[in-house]
Amino acid sequence: MFKAVERAHRLGLGPVFGEMRIGGDVQGQRTAFPAAWVQDKLLAEDALDGLNDEARRLVYLIAETGLRLSEAANLTAATIRLDDPVPHVRVRADSRRMKTEQSARDVPLVGVALLAMRAQPDGFPRYRDKAPQLSALVNKVLRGRDLLPGPGYSLYSLRHTFEDRLTAVEAPEKVMAALMGHKYHRPRYGAGPSLAQKQDWLQRIAFGSPARV
């Protein structure tokens, strides 16, 4: 009920009961897909045939950029910059509340994400403001097609995989924060990593593309 009211009126309440804990509970770490699982299973030819084109391309975009579901689903023609020297997407509030101040960022498009956005230059109208429906659909298909390594995995795990992949190539903490939309825990000086610098690190971890995007 609280979520429905918050979404309808954009009150910015956040998770009202998010700080409540049952005695003795230990908060587990969110799971990340192994990068090889994403490449060999999720990006295998015909693996995501149970999804419509928009949903499938959203999975590809999230896998390659680490965008949150709502950030990816709410991209528009104005925030998709395919013709710039460094193709990228601009994550902006667009009359919505951002999760954090650092969430507003520019993320280069490489690999399968670039192919997906070339196929969706105006964004994903079917799922605009419908991230929960997107999540439910994709997770249902992933479970039904045995594309989850085990319990605790979901579409959101791709964001954690993205961070792990950057860690594996020893990307600077400042670059990782700029790409993830996280707070950088040092005093901020200058404009931060350029699009070209971020593109360079993303190209180092880019997935091989499936036969059909």
pLDDT at 17: 65
Is 17 part of a structural domain of the chain? no
* Residue 189 lies inside a defined structural domain of this protein: no
For 141-180, write each residue's pLDDT tens digit.
999 999 999 999 999 999 999 999 999 999 999 999 999 9
Q: Which residues contact 145 (CB under 8 A, 6 or more apart)?
A: 47, 48, 50
What per-residue confidence (pLDDT) applies to 56? 97
Structural domain total, the chain: 1
Residue 4 lies in a domain: no
Chain-centre distance for alpha carbon 45: 21
State the Rg of the chain over Cα.
17
What are 5-21's pLDDT values in tens digits?
767 776 666 666 655 55
Does 101 have pLDDT greater than 70?
A: no
Query: For tokens 């049952």, what's the residue?
Result: 22
Cα–Cα distance between 175 and 169 in angstroms, integer? 12
CATH of the domain at 149: 1.10.443.10
Residues 6+ apart with CB under 8 A from 40: none
Domain extent at residue 101: 30-184+194-205
Q: What is the pTM of this model?
A: 0.81
Residue appearing with tokens 């699009």: 195
